[in-house]
Amino acid sequence: MTEQLEFYRCNVCGNFVEVVFSGDGELVCCGQPMEHLKPKNKSEEMMGEKHVPVIHTTDSGFDIKVGSVPHPMEQSHYIAFIEATSPDKRYVKRKYLFPHEEPVLKLKCNCDDGIIAREFCNIHGLWTSEEDSEE
């Protein structure tokens, strides 16, 4: 069974998919089940300082930066995308990044319930954090 907004990767060809609608069954590519990518968070201390999305509230929405320490953005090691979603999963914004770009997503919104941020490092995988704007 798949859930909305989950990510899966084929470990043979590298296909990477996000589930748009939840469904029964298993995602298969190249004759093998796809790997379900489970996001890591700040409790993953070893690499969290460079990977956990840091959410800053602004007057018009949120700025999401990757890591409390700058993450490398090199040809061989970079953040491939940053994504922000509403807790109810109704709104999604994703910014694709390339080596040598600053890993930041600026989001203009009135998100009363906060946001959930995810980012994908091409080497260290999927990371997440959330911001409750009522705090």
Coil, strand or helix at 50: helix
Coil, strand or helix at 135: coil
Give the model's pLDDT for residue 96: 97
Give the model's pLDDT for residue 47: 61
Question: Does the pLDDT value for residue 134 go beyond 60?
Answer: no
Question: Does the pLDDT value for residue 112 go beyond 50?
Answer: yes
Q: Domain extents for the chain?
A: 7-37, 45-131
Strands (E), 13-110: 16-18, 28-29, 32-33, 35-37, 53-57, 61-66, 79-85, 92-96, 104-108
Question: Does the pLDDT value for residue 109 go beyond 70?
Answer: yes
- 62 contacts 110 by C-beta, under 8 angstroms: no
Q: How does pLDDT run across 57-104, given as a tens digit for each residue? A: 888 889 999 988 888 999 999 999 999 999 999 899 999 999 999 999
Query: What topology does CATH give the domain 45-131?
Result: Immunoglobulin-like (2.60.40)
**The listed CATH number (2.20.28.100, 1.20.140.10, 1.10.15.40, 3.20.20.80) that belongs to domain 7-37:** 2.20.28.100
Question: Does the pLDDT value for residue 45 go beyond 70?
Answer: no
Record the tokens describing residue 46, joined without a space. Answer: 């070893």
pTM, to two decimals: 0.89
Question: Does the pLDDT value for residue 125 go beyond 70?
Answer: yes
Q: How does pLDDT run across 10-41, given as a tens digit for each residue? A: 999 999 999 999 999 999 999 999 999 999 98
Give the model's pLDDT for residue 8: 98
Q: Which residue has the tokens 């990477």?
A: 16
Question: Does the pLDDT value for residue 133 go beyond 50?
Answer: no
